[in-house]
Each structure stands twice: as structure tokens, then as C-alpha cells.
């Protein structure tokens, strides 16, 4: 059955607001609603979007009530809220929602050492298992993994470019390339899942725009903004420092741990579940996207 009625959770967020934009532009014209916490009541949404408010702890009865009007529920909730997803899935089953798209949108494989250090990361994989366990109810699901968000990785220091000090920390072999995806591609992929509901059912789909290395990015940054300080670090001691920081209960080391995993992700394009073609995603190049990101950062400064 076509997925005509969409309910989006986290539609005010970095990714959610873009998913909303592409839902409204979709040629299949789904009826689009947003489920938003009461504490975020001031958020302005585009016209044509109905807003369903919910208590901040997402009570099950309110979820079921909201989900009864939906064929598909998309969760673009923040990491801080992703543990609520077991309730979202139970409510999907009760309300007879056809498709659930969980808040994945990141790494595909999570190594055991990372899960041991921060069990929070396991939530995304637990949710995959939970969804598989609910397939017999008729609920279908699609997970989208994009490794890293390209723009955010450059802007927020995740790729180790520290803008305030104009300093780059190059980790191990700085020419190693990893998959990166722009936010708009992730959002388009999410909407395409709804338009192509059959071939995307009960699958983890891997997407990426291009492969990129720290050296690729640094070269472009320096072309545009002049010389940067560069510190070179061996991977193992740099990662061990971060693990130690996290073991002591701090959070500053967490991005280093996830960047270390993301940069080891490999190519993806040869993997069976690589889905750029299936989802008919636009072709983007590193050259064009880095130009766009750096120009936009300069305009904001």
C-alpha cells in the first residue's frame, strides 16, 4: 500500500528540517505532519505541515494516538532522544503503521571496543534488532547509514579542523579516504525510501556522496583561507588518549572515537546494500561540495 501519510519526529533538527523540505517537494505529495515536543512549541514549520505536540517524555498513549494517522513514521530525533525509539516502534505496531525509518543516519559497523566504552552507541544496533523482531507484525522498516555528515564534520571540528585556532590535526595516514554524505543527500534518500517502498523494505541501506580524506579537505581549506598550523599524530596514541578520557567519564573524547571508526569505514560502493542507484540519488562531487561548504562558512563569519 502506498505510504501516503508521513509523520516526522525531530522535524526541527539539523537533518529533520531538510527531510521536511524534501517531503514537501516530493512528487508523491505525502500528507506531512511533524511530532514535536511541547517544550519546543515555538518552532515555525512551513505551511502545509501539521504539527502534533507531545509531552517531552513521549508517552506511549500519545504516540499511538498520533501514529494512527500515519502510514510511515520517520525518526530524525537527536542522539539525546534516540532511546525513546523502543516506544516509537511499539506504538507503530499498535497503530498499524506500515513503515518505520529509525534515527540511524551514521556509521554502519560499530566495533565492540566502542560499544564497550559507551553502550549508548549500541542503541542504534539494538533498534535494528528490535525492528527485525517486529517484522511478523507487518511493520516494515528501512535504516539509512551515511557514515558522516560532510558539512557538520568540517564545521564542528569532527574531522579535526579547528577553526578558532586555524589548526588541523592529521591522524595517521592523512590520505586515507572515508565515505561522506551531505545532509541534503541524506534527506533526499529518506524521502526516496517512501517513494520506493517495496525495494527498500526491511533493509539497511548504505549511501554516500563521495570519499574524502583529511588531506583533501586541508588542501581546499588552505587554498581558500591561507596556511594552517598542522599537527601530525599517530593514530593509536591519539585514539588511546580519547579512550582513556571516555573511560574516566568525560565526553570530550567521544567525537575522536567515532571519527576513528568513520575514517576506517572503507569504500562501501562494492557492498551489496549500497543504495545510491536504487534511491536515484543525485551525483555530487567533493570539489563542488567543499566549495559550497567553505563559501557558506565564510559568509556566516
Ligand X SMILES: NC(=O)c1ccc[n+]([C@@H]2O[C@H](COP(=O)([O-])OP(=O)(O)OC[C@H]3O[C@@H](n4cnc5c(N)ncnc54)[C@H](OP(=O)(O)O)[C@@H]3O)[C@@H](O)[C@H]2O)c1
Q: Which residues bind ligand X (CB under 6 A)?
A: 10-16, 36-37, 40, 43, 76-81, 103, 105-106, 146, 148-149, 152
By beta-carbon proximity to ligand X, the closer residue of 146 and 218 is 146
Q: How far is the CB of 138 from ligand X (least distance, A)?
A: 25
| 43 torsion bin: left (phi>0), alpha (psi -120 to 50), beta (else) | beta
Contact 122, 95 (CB under 8 A): no
Q: How far is the CB of 47 from ligand X (least distance, A)?
A: 17
Q: How far is the CB of 107 from ligand X (least distance, A)?
A: 7
Q: How far is the CB of 84 from ligand X (least distance, A)?
A: 7
By beta-carbon proximity to ligand X, the closer residue of 13 and 253 is 13
Q: CA 100, CA 85: separation in Å to the nearest integer? A: 10
By beta-carbon proximity to ligand X, the closer residue of 34 and 169 is 34
Contact 143, 123 (CB under 8 A): no
Q: CA 292, CA 174: separation in Å to the nearest integer? A: 22
DSSP string, 199-227: TTTTEEEE--SEEE-HHHHHHHHHHHH--
Q: How far is the CB of 145 from ligand X (least distance, A)?
A: 8
Sequence-distant (6+) residues with CB within 8 A of 148 are 106, 158, 159, 178, 179, 180, 181, 259, 262
By beta-carbon proximity to ligand X, the closer residue of 60 and 78 is 78
By beta-carbon proximity to ligand X, the closer residue of 74 and 199 is 74
Contact 92, 85 (CB under 8 A): no
Residue in this structure with the C-alpha cell 543504495, named with its chain if needed: 275
By beta-carbon proximity to ligand X, the closer residue of 96 and 271 is 271
Packing angle of the helix pair 16-25, 183-195 (nearest 10 deg)? 50
By beta-carbon proximity to ligand X, the closer residue of 13 and 30 is 13
Q: How far is the CB of 75 from ligand X (least distance, A)?
A: 8
**Interior CA angle at 217 toward 184 and 117, to 5°?**
75
The values of phi and psi at residue 47, to 5°, are -65, 150
What is the number of the residue whose Cβ is closest to ligand X? Answer: 13
Q: How far is the CB of 124 from ligand X (least distance, A)?
A: 7
The side-by-side arrangement of strands in the sheet containing 5-9 is 50-54, 31-37, 5-9, 72-75, 99-101, 140-145, 203-206
Q: CA 91, CA 97: separation in Å to the nearest integer? A: 8
By beta-carbon proximity to ligand X, the closer residue of 30 and 81 is 81
Q: How far is the CB of 259 from ligand X (least distance, A)?
A: 9
Amino acid at each position: 500500500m502506498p505510504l501516503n501519510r508521513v509523520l516526522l519526529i525531530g522535524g526541527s533538527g539539523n537533518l529533520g528540517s531538510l527531510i521536511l523540505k524534501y517531503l514537501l517537494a516530493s512528487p508523491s505529495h505525502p500528507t506531512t505532519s511533524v511530532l514535536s515536543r511541547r517544550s519546543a512549541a515555538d518552532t515555525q514549520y512551513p505551511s502545509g505541515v501539521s504539527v502534533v505536540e507531545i509531552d517531552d517524555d513521549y508517552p506511549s498513549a500519545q504516540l499511538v494516538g498520533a501514529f494512527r494517522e500515519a502510514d510511515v513514521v520517520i525518526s530524525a530525533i537527536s542522539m539525546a532522544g534516540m532511546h525513546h525509539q523502543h516506544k516509537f516502534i511499539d506504538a507503530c505496531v499498535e497503530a498499524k503503521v506500515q513503515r518505520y525509518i529509525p534515527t540511524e543516519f551514521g556509521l554502519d559497523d560499530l566495533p565492540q571496543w566502542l560499544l564497550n566504552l559507551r553502550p549508548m552507541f549500541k542503541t542504534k544496533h539494538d533498534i535494528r534488532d528490535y525492528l527485525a523482531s517486529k517484522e511478523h507484525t507487518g511493520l516494515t522498516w528501512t535504516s539509512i547509514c551515511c557514515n558522516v555528515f560532510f558539512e557538520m564534520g568540517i564545521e564542528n571540528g569532527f574531522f579535526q579542523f579547528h577553526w578558532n585556532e586555524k589548526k588541523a590535526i592529521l591522524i595517521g595516514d592523512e590520505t586515507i579516504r572515508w565515505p561522506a554524505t551531505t545532509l541534503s543527500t541524506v534527506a533526499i534518500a529518506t524521502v526516496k525510501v517512501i517513494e520506493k517502498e517495496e525495494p527498500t523494505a526491511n533493509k539497511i541501506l548504505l549511501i554516500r556522496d563521495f570519499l574524502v580524506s583529511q588531506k583533501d579537505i586541508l588542501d581546499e581549506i588552505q587554498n581558500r583561507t591561507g596556511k594552517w598550523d598542522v599537527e601530525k599524530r599517530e593514530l593509536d596514541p591519539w585514539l588511546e588518549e580519547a579512550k582513556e578520557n571516555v573511560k574516566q567519564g568525560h565526553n570530550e573524547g567521544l567525537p575522536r572515537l567515532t571519527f576513528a571508526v568513520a575514517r576506517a569505514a572503507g569504500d562501501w560502493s562494492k557492498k551489496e546494500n549500497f543504495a545510491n542507484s536504487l534511491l536515484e540519488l543525485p551525483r555530487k562531487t567533493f570539489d563542488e561540495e567543499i566549495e559550497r561548504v567553505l563559501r557558506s562558512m565564510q559568509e556566516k563569519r
